[in-house]
Amino acid sequence: MEYLLAYDLGTGELKTSLFDKTGQSKGYVFTDYQTYYSAKEYREQKPEDWWNAAVQSTKKLINDTGVSNTEIKALAVSGHSLGVVPIGYDGTLLRSLVPIWNDARATAQAHAFFETIDEKRWYQETGNGFPAHLYSIFKIMWMRDHEPERYERCQSFIGTKDYLNYKMTGVLCTDHSYASGSGVYSLKEHGYIAAYIKASGIDPDKLPPIVDSTTVIGTLLPEAAQALGLSVDTKVCAGGVDNACMALGAACIENGDVYTSLGTSAWIAVASDEPVIDQEKRPYVFAHCIPGKYVSATAIFSAGNSLKWAKDQFFYDLAQGEANPYEEIDRMAKSSEPGADGLFFVPSLAGGSLLDASVHLKGTLLGLDLRHTRADIARAVLEGVCFHLKLALDVLMQYVPIRDEMLMVGGGAKSAVWRTLFADIYEKTIITTNIGQDTGSLGAAVIAAVGAGLWDSFEHVKTLHVVQGRETPARAQVPYYQKRLLLYRTVTQTLCDLYDLMQTQSAREE
């Protein structure tokens, strides 16, 4: 039998998975690592921690499954986005700690860049819809400005998953999906934008060459093969950014294929033939791992986090018993009437996103009075996440003919009550499959399978999804929730104005 290795390099842990050549999972190992917060806006990790995690988990996985290393034909890595890893001309890692996707140190560099570049045009070309200073080019500019000697010694600034590829093969490169988060990548031209690189002042030779995700960039170096416990003949494919790999694993490969990921944060992502660009709501767009396709998404920062917060604050007694507290919260929410007896919850506990009218938007329980119960609060929290994600879905639906069936993945998808509410509020059939939380790993495995020639098409990924749950919109509830959503839009807009006012007042008092 022939096998594939998939590495899902997440923000908090590496998931190393083994798949057979048909795409069936044969086992996986989790290995965590630390994020460092050495200054207020810094979010850093150690690339060597990623490599050590790969070494440990690969050996354990091979030992646990009993597979011969000669049977593992190819591998690929999915990596968290917007990371910057400097590699010197001597081949060494120049920084033990590197900025990851949510590192916010490069605000001044972004401001300087947009003194000469129109930000709306920049977003139109790049689709980079996160706050601009998070994108890679500005972090590189920060290194140039604050660590000039290190910058001069740098041969190439590569991404997170590209570092693992480099350790495995000695090849410095990236793929289109990861490069599309650089801040200087043209979605339409599929390459770097010379004018933006010039405006940044960064040497273009320090940016890695771009290849397709499925490109076999090499086989394992002898020292890498020995460390991992793999054969030197194992093919290494370029891999992709996590957003694109998750979409691929979720079988979002054709125009209008869509899924919701419901975890600590949540997002809706759609595969499309054209990037979804909206100057007001600013969806973030990545080139897909599939040539010529795009992954466009909108997100909220607190989804599962909102439910956890409610559990800790209002339902803490449930954790004392033997029952699963989340199942008890579901039971309570189900006992409350649709609309939670007039109670609204805005799930912006981590602040507003670009989807909202203000980044100062806060989490809010609106409409509380003496008649409300814990059951109403439980339902309001679940409905609030659904409403906020429906606002996100409506943005995408303006540009892409989204399918009537919506795949839902992530820990929150385990809740049948929540899935039912999503069906009614989205007005979509919500399905769950056997893939569950494995979309990133499966996406990397698909890349390896296609790259190594074991599959001749990405389409095969659709056959791997076996439907396990299906919730359809309840006709009786849809009209009610449509009216409720209109009111929710007004509520969030009004709250944005209110929190802006509060922020202004607070600034005056300081």
Residues 6+ apart with CB under 8 A from 151: 86, 140, 143, 144
Pairwise CA distance, residues 473 & 160, whole Å: 40
Q: The tokens 């401001």 sit on which residue?
A: 111
**In-domain check, residue 269:** yes
**Position 92 pLDDT exceeds 90:** yes
Burial status of residue 184 (CB atoms within 10 A of its CB: 0-12, 13-18, 19 or more):
buried
Same domain, residue pair 335 and 267:
no
Report residue 509's pLDDT band, with 50, 70 and 90 as the boundaries.
Answer: confident
Separation CA 199–CA 434 (nearest Å): 47
pTM of the entire predicted model: 0.94
| 423 is a domain residue | no
State the DSSP H helix or E strand holding residue 92, giving kind and residue range, or none if neither.
none
| pLDDT band, very low/low/confident/very high, at 305 (cuts 50, 70, 90) | very high
**pLDDT at 392 > cutoff 90:** yes
Q: For residues 76 and 114, state if they share a domain.
A: yes
Answer yes or no: do 217 and 338 share one domain.
Answer: no
For residue 196, is pLDDT > 70?
yes
The number of C-alpha atoms within 13 Å of 385 and in the hemisphere containing its C-beta is 35
Place of tokens 């070494």: 55
Closest CA to 234 of 245, 223, 221: 221
The DSSP secondary structure of 397-437, one letter per residue, reads: HTTS---SEEEEESGGGG-HHHHHHHHHHHTSEEEEETTTT
In a domain, 483, yes or no: yes
* Whether residue 491 sits in one domain with residue 386: yes
Q: What tens digit of pLDDT does each residue of 135-146 get?
A: 999 999 999 999
pLDDT tens-digit map of 224-274: 999 999 999 999 999 999 999 999 999 999 999 999 999 988 999 999 999
Per-residue DSSP letter, 229: T
Cβ 301 vs Cβ 263: under 8 Å: no
Mean of per-residue pLDDT scores for the chain: 96
Closest by Cα among 133, 103, 132, 108 to 42? 103
Whole domain around residue 448: which residue ranges?
251-301+394-412+429-469
Both 43 and 64 in one domain: the answer is: yes
Give the mean pLDDT of 297-311: 92
Computed from CA positions of residues 307, 310, 316, 318, in that sequence, does the dihedral angle turn out positive or negative? negative
CATH number at residue 373: 3.30.420.40
Backbone phi, psi, residue 436, to 5°: 55, -115
pLDDT-above-90 percentage for the chain = 92
Q: Are 33 and 15 in contact (CB under 8 A)?
A: no
| Euclidean distance between CA atoms 239 and 241, whole angstroms | 7
Is 424 part of a structural domain of the chain?
Answer: no
Does residue 440 share a domain with residue 344? Answer: no
Whether 317 and 194 share a structural domain: no
Query: Does any domain span residue 417?
Result: no
Q: Are residues 102 and 218 in the same domain?
A: yes
Question: What single-letter DSSP state applies at residue 459?
Answer: G
User: Is 81 domain-assigned?
Assistant: yes
pLDDT band at 321 (very low <50, low <70, confident <90, very high): confident
Question: Is the confidence at residue 323, as pLDDT, over 90?
Answer: no
418 belongs to a structural domain:
no
Domain edge (last residue) among 225, 244, 263: 244
| Cα Dmax for the chain | 70
Cα–Cα distance for residue pair 275/185, rounded to 1 Å: 13
Please tell me whether residues 177 and 314 are part of one structural domain. no
Q: Are residues 333 and 382 in the same domain?
A: yes
Lowest mean pLDDT among 67-71, 361-365, 482-486, 504-508: 504-508
Q: What proportion of the chain, given as a percentage, has pLDDT over 70? A: 100
349 and 258 inside one domain: no
Query: Residue 191: is its pLDDT beyond 90?
Result: yes
pLDDT, tens digit, for every residue of 332-384? 999 999 999 999 999 999 888 878 888 899 999 999 999 999 999 999 999 99
Residue type (1 letter), 135: Y
pLDDT in tens, 59-84: 999 999 999 999 999 999 999 999 99
417-464: pLDDT as tens digits: 999 999 999 999 999 999 988 999 999 999 999 999 999 999 999 999
Number of domains in the chain: 3
User: Is there a domain that residue 422 lies in?
Assistant: no
265 and 354 within one domain: no
Contact criterion met (CB below 8 Å) for 290 and 248 = yes
pLDDT at 352: 84
**What's the pLDDT band for 510 if we cut at 50, 70, 90?**
low
